[in-house]
Amino acid sequence: MAKVLVSQVDAVWLAERLHDWPDGSGPMYQRLAQAIERLVQAGEVQGGARLPAERLLSTELKVSRTTVAGAYELLADRRLVTRRHGSGTYVESVRTETPPPRESVLMRSLERNEIFDGLLDPPRELLDMRSAVIHDSPGLPQRALDAVGADVARAASLQGYVPAGLPALRAAIAARYTALGLPTEPGEVLVTSGAQQALALIAMLHVRPDDEVVTEALTHTGAIDLFVASGARLRTVPVGQQGADVDAIERVLTERPRLLYLIPSIHNPLGSVMPARERRRLASLLDEHPDLVVIADDTLADTYRDRRPPPPLGSYPGAHRVLHTGSLSKLIWGGLRVGWVRGPVPEIRRLARLKALTDLGSSIPSQLLAIRLMEEGEDFADDRRAMIAQRGRTLERALAHRLPSWTFDTPEGGLCLWIRLPGGSARELTMRAARHGVALAAGSIQSPQGHFSDHLRIPYSHSELVLTRAVDRLADAWEQHADPSPICELEDLRVVV
């Protein structure tokens, strides 16, 4: 969302920016006032702007008008707003530095993503179901943890700056791709601090303002943010249970976009897989566009349930220039922060120089642990996959029992369900769910155009107990969702986990 630079603050926009305002303690009107104050102090709402009328904002937030009036009065007491009878409530000027244009672009790319909000400012009193990363796992193999201590002690005698990554880890990642059907040498691998940095480096190297970037109509929120931050114009192609629409890609490539970003192996958020025949068609098509930068995001590829996805896109004739990004964070542990780019040697060298400019290299202890974990082999990975799949089935059963009107396709892998609501706005439901103790992300944040307003992404990366508890609370929230009356009439209502 762009910063408000006009005199009237739109009620819908403000409600979206206040999506997690019920989190915290104290009366509801006080929490609402604090959330509005944060937006003002951050410069997202400018001095002199008129806040929405009490009636309009209470309708969007699904609270009583008394709650909004109390919040405005508290802000007036703090001299953050002025109440003008018959005219409205106006924000007082706050001494903040106006960000330069580049900073404004970057901030706009972050404002839309409430998943990042949950990571930067975790809700204290909500079950946070926004980020799809493993919680409550059995932990990492003790053998690997014991061995890495000695590895770090030996590595401490070295200077520690290895921008392209430890040779042993690059070799292990190369061997992984070779085993999957894409012959790879260590020089074709760059180790990064997670897959997000891999995407960021590619965007920094290749995307300039006004470049056209093509993504699927639903895609990774972090990728959307990175491309928007680069100043790109985003264009989409349809995506479904057979992956991206190759015919649509063929049509859009006639207009010579700069970059194509796809998730062919366990799509985020659909959990779908592009079949081998479509990968072959796509690879042949890509061979006709030598100047196109192509990213195949493999971050979720190892989280398959019953069968491994087909060989990587780059293994098919014509797709040898594809840049594959991946990570150990989804299957093993989000805190490991080890990812990679796999691609042609000249491209890897350019990206390595850029990475050296940004951080001089990823954490050596993390890379050493990653090597040990990859040595654990398929038994460890299979146990992890079985745990994730069981959690997914638990969430599916709970939803079928408590919320049978919600529909979804069982994914082929991944860490979340993509759910269609039978009616109403997912954004409104997320605000109501927060009042029942669950933080959710509306499906529209996974769309570059903000579409899919009737969808939710619900991760099943939590324990089965937490998933069951979350669905019970969502069922209560959904029961009230059709009720147009305000959610909170009692000003001292608190959310309790």
DSSP result, 295-338: EEE-TTGGGBSSSPPPSPGGGSTT-TTPEEEEESTTTT-GGG--
Q: Average pLDDT, stretch 363-368? A: 96
CA–CA separation, 366 and 170 (whole Å): 13
- My answer on whether omega of the bond before 269 falls inside 30° of 0, hence cis, is yes
Dihedral pair phi/psi, residue 186, rounded to 5°:
-55, -35
Write phi, then psi, for 457 (nearest 5 degrees): -110, 120
Residue 2 binned pLDDT confidence (cut-offs 50, 70, 90)? very low
pLDDT tier for residue 495 given thresholds of 50, 70 and 90: very low
What pLDDT sits at residue 103?
Answer: 52
Start-to-end CA span in the chain (Å): 30
Confidence of residue 489 (pLDDT cuts 50, 70, 90): very low
Q: What angle do CA 435, 440, 441 make, to 5 degrees?
A: 135
DSSP 51: P
- Residue 72 has a CB neighbour count (10 Å cut-off) of 23
pLDDT of amino acid 114: 56
CATH class of 142-378: alpha beta
What average pLDDT is seen over the chain?
88
Instruction: Evaluate whether 33 touches 74 at the Cβ level (below 8 Å).
Output: yes
pLDDT surpassing 80 at residue 99? no
Q: Which residues contact 195 (CB under 8 A, 6 or more apart)?
A: 297, 299, 325, 326, 327, 329, 339, 340
Among the CATH numbers 3.30.2130.10, 1.10.10.10, 3.40.30.10, 1.10.540.10, which is that of 11-91?
Answer: 1.10.10.10
pLDDT at 5: 42
Residue located via tokens 């799509």: 267
Structure tokens at 162: 């290895």
Write the pLDDT tens digit of every residue in 106-119: 555 555 555 555 55
User: What pLDDT, in 10s, does the model give residues 332-361?
Assistant: 999 999 999 999 999 999 999 999 999 999
pLDDT in tens, 210-248: 999 999 999 999 999 999 999 999 999 999 999 999 999
pLDDT in tens, 41-63: 877 888 888 999 998 998 888 78
Instruction: Find the mean pLDDT for residues 53-78.
Output: 88
Whether 290 contacts 253, CB under 8 Å: no
**Three-class secondary structure of residue 380 per DSSP:** helix
pLDDT tens-digit map of 387-423? 999 999 999 999 999 999 999 999 999 999 999 999 8
Beta-strand pair 455-459/441-442: antiparallel
Provide the 8-state DSSP code for 53. P
Q: How confident is the model at residue 428 (pLDDT cuts 50, 70, 90)?
A: confident
Average pLDDT over residues 55-81: 88
User: Rounded distance, CA 442 to CA 432, Å?
Assistant: 12
Q: How many helices (H) and strands (E) are present in the chain, helices listed first?
A: 17, 16
Confidence (pLDDT) at 112? 52
In the structure, what pLDDT confidence band is assigned to residue 450 with cuts at 50, 70 and 90? confident
Of residues 324 and 103, more confidence is placed in 324
Average pLDDT of the segment spanning 125-152: 90
What does the pLDDT average to over 79-102?
A: 74
pLDDT tens digits for 249-274?
999 999 999 999 999 999 999 999 99
Answer yes or no: is pLDDT of 131 > 90: no
Topology alike, domains 11-91 and 142-378: no
* Interatomic CA distance for residues 490 and 477, integer angstroms: 17
pLDDT for 363 beyond 90:
yes
What are the structure tokens assigned to 463, written together? 């324990």
Name the residue ranges covered by the structural domains of the chain: 11-91, 115-138+387-481, 142-378
What superfamily would CATH give domain 115-138+387-481? Aspartate Aminotransferase, domain 1 (3.90.1150.10)
The pLDDT tens digits of the residues spanning 6-34 come to 468 888 888 878 877 776 667 888 889 99
Contacts of residue 364, Cβ cutoff 8 Å, sequence gap at least 6: 152, 155, 158, 160, 162, 166
Q: Specify the pLDDT at position 482.
A: 60
Overall average pLDDT of the 157-173 stretch: 94
Q: Is residue 488 predicted with pLDDT exceeding 50?
A: no
Q: DSSP labels for 90-133? A: EEPP---PPPPHHHHHHHHHHHT-HHHHHHHS--SSSEE-SS-S
Rg, Å, the chain Cα set = 24
Least confident of 164-168, 298-302, 307-311, 435-439: 435-439
